[in-house]
Structure 1
């Protein structure tokens, strides 16, 4: 993958939601509460790992009843000066293997109460996690820090950044050298599904006539349509039928049977790739055949005892690993993160907001609208940005140091579709260069 000009931490605060009630930060210092181990070999990879990998747990929440699992990759460029990135993927309730490999997460709660979480709890404990981690890694205290994430992270992540900024202002120690944040295809206002309709029309998935009828009958509100609004309800049925064969997370990819809803699919894969031979199998054709099969592969890998031993997972801490743990107890108590973006803009923090332009779940149209609502002037107007001599997307920058970029041909998790292009985009931005 080449040399990375950063260090990468990923914890699973956002993914599992196994967090306690809101921690009130009443002290000006934090005490370390973590365990860390070096990982030199991983099942499925021949020979020693070609980079420094550390995994561990940081206790957060009241009585540290939430044990947050993280993995840390040290920069192979200049560890003393390269930025530190804490990456939190979305969900809520989804683990992080697309942030690192295809998202690996082993965070767990010690008590039933600790398993109850919310957006604001994630913000508070994300802040606590990072300060505690830095206490245990004091050689990184002077490095610039960025917080990054995608998808549902668009709700709690700006709140985490604000918690860290306010902690610095209150004199909490250690001080975090916070510089900014990064969000990909972010859920922000909870109105993003409304933009699936104009997105589908622009991509020629629905006709002009249906689009005009939807606008007229639904009046721009396509979420939780009132069944008594017969005309809107009928139009939405037509819309859903037309896009039923489209993979909404990336409309360019084939629609595939979802493993959790199609038991025969799982059985056929298990028969083809028995567990005892799994780590010795060439799986490239399986992944290419259907992108969602990667969920199946990650289940196999993370539930292998040898893998868990290599990663130093606390034995007995969790049962069967699944990519997305949907917890109905999770409280969605931040209705929109726009206010947090506005506050962080006033404080002068940099931000990069990017969107895969073929994502119909959180379309770029909605992202553009809330960014415009901040009412900052444009300092670098709409233009293409290139990767490998080709147009990789389009970008513009506002006077609040907020950069927006599209990733051409990418879907909901843009780096999984366009890794080279996204790496170029990120590398330039983190180095304070123009895209």
Structure 2
């Protein structure tokens, strides 16, 4: 009798176990699918299918805190099996790399037209660097763009820790994309991203020397209008603005005589303090990323007293918690204003595969509202180390940038004391000078981009594509 009762019971248990493991398998398949990259074939605002291959996804860089970096990978429009792969990092205060994709070196641009409540339109960009390379755009550090952390402490990072997270990102991404391992690999970035690039490059080179797998096929790096952490980045503004006719001879001479490089720190004398104040007032008259462009006064709901302006902005921004500054149409960066409405649209987020509940709102930059340590004090030693190891480096500057002027960049490049192998000369496009360049031993090239600003490709896309194409193809500029 007991045996007869046990058989049905065993059968029930077997059915239960089968159901349990079946449900578990379905759950695991769901989780795996959720973590898988998204192949994006269409994007809102662009007519038709994408004319290039776009993959987006997340890579966990801190398992304990649940920190994930979001990326956009755009395959080369040339020969993706042979063309190089470039990891691109943007600058700013925890700024989204989407800006680099849409306004600098990516194959799409936002059309600058009055916002009418619908998704901003996109167009194809013919001077994208994806013409000659596959580009891996990464929202870094954690918190930038669509990157996020499940544990709030995951946002407590700095330049060093976020660089190490990027190294972990590359290891994981390369393991999941083994068909790109043989491609030449470069690291690039501009502005504050230029501080991360040489440090990250050195860490990867150390892994290569230690034979840590997967072996990244690192072939060099490039930085545009890069910060170094050194005072020269800012002190060079004084001779630059003097040379451009923005500050007078008298003010320049006073600063040089009485400030001794202290104009941006703590002036130690009354004369230096007065000169610094005058300098700041004059400097505030221009658009710092490009001195020839119109300076736009931002009007936001939080800073403008006009009730009509606030009403318009509220209607346009809708449910955005951090509405963007409302800019006049003739501002160079009006597209930045439009990008908020494009990136925060639910259709866009679905198309990009943004995880539900990961980020309630995309913002271009987090201006000091998340903790971040500036713990790479100077990058110059990393530039020296990498170039002495033989890795080619391209350091370029838009020559109309007053934020990190080319004079300061040219100065620290010279301070490396490498012998010159190709004297200062013009480089050309279509028979005209496109900038000026000098090449040193150890494959170090410095170049200016004529008419370029702080993010040179944003202002001179055709010239910058020509510069990048020649350099990455190992041709002289």
**Which range, TM-score by smaller chain?**
0.7 to 0.9
Number of equivalent positions: 394
Q: What pairs up with 1:203-242 in 2 under 5 angstroms?
A: 203-226=244-267, 229-242=269-282
The equivalent of 1:126 in structure 2 is: 166
2:347 counterpart of 1:306:
yes
Q: Secondary structure at the match of 1:289?
A: coil
Cα contact 1:34–1:133 (8 A) shared by 2: no
Offset of residue 210 of structure 1: 1.2
Cα contact 1:90–1:150 (8 A) shared by 2: yes
Q: Secondary structure at the match of 2:98?
A: coil
The equivalent of 1:52 in structure 2 is: 53
Q: Secondary structure at the match of 1:180?
A: strand
Aligned equivalents of 1:309, 1:189: Cα separation in 2: 39
The equivalent of 2:293 in structure 1 is: 253
Q: Which runs of 5+ in 2 are unaligned?
A: 1-33, 105-138, 140-144, 319-326
Cα contact 1:54–1:72 (8 A) shared by 2: yes
Cα contact 1:98–1:416 (8 A) shared by 2: no
Cα contact 1:86–1:146 (8 A) shared by 2: yes
Offset of residue 266 of structure 1: 11
2:366 aligned residue (325, 342, 367): 325
The equivalent of 1:423 in structure 2 is: 465
1:94-123 CA distances to partner (integer Å, 9 max, x unpaired)?
111332114883111111221110111122
Aligned equivalents of 2:69, 2:444: Cα separation in 1: 30
The equivalent of 1:16 in structure 2 is: none
Q: Secondary structure at the match of 1:63?
A: coil
Q: Secondary structure at the match of 2:99?
A: coil
Q: Runs of 4 or more off by more than 4 Å in structure 1?
A: 259-270, 272-277
2:170 counterpart of 1:169:
no
Aligned equivalents of 1:259, 1:402: Cα separation in 2: 43
Q: What pairs up with 1:90-109 in 2 under 5 angstroms?
A: 90-102=91-103, 105-109=145-149
2:219 counterpart of 1:179:
yes
Aligned equivalents of 2:306, 2:228: Cα separation in 1: 34
The equivalent of 2:182 in structure 1 is: 142
Offset of residue 217 of structure 1: 1.1
Q: Which runs of 5+ in 1 are unaligned?
A: 1-32, 278-285
Q: Secondary structure at the match of 2:413?
A: helix
Aligned equivalents of 1:269, 1:296: Cα separation in 2: 15
Cα contact 2:60–2:66 (8 A) shared by 1: yes
Aligned equivalents of 2:81, 2:305: Cα separation in 1: 51
1:7-52 CA distances to partner (integer Å, 9 max, x unpaired)?
xxxxxxxxxxxxxxxxxxxxxxxxxx96311001111101111111
Q: What pairs up with 1:249-398 in 2 under 5 angstroms?
A: 249-259=289-299, 262-263=303-304, 268=309, 271=312, 289-327=330-368, 329-398=371-440
Aligned equivalents of 1:65, 1:272: Cα separation in 2: 35
1:362-414 CA distances to partner (integer Å, 9 max, x unpaired)?
01111111111111011111111112222110001110111101011111011
Cα contact 2:317–2:341 (8 A) shared by 1: no
Offset of residue 69 of structure 1: 0.4
2:193 counterpart of 1:153:
yes
2:203 counterpart of 1:202:
no
1:229-253 CA distances to partner (integer Å, 9 max, x unpaired)?
1101111111122232201111010
Aligned equivalents of 2:310, 2:52: Cα separation in 1: 32
2:108 counterpart of 1:68:
no
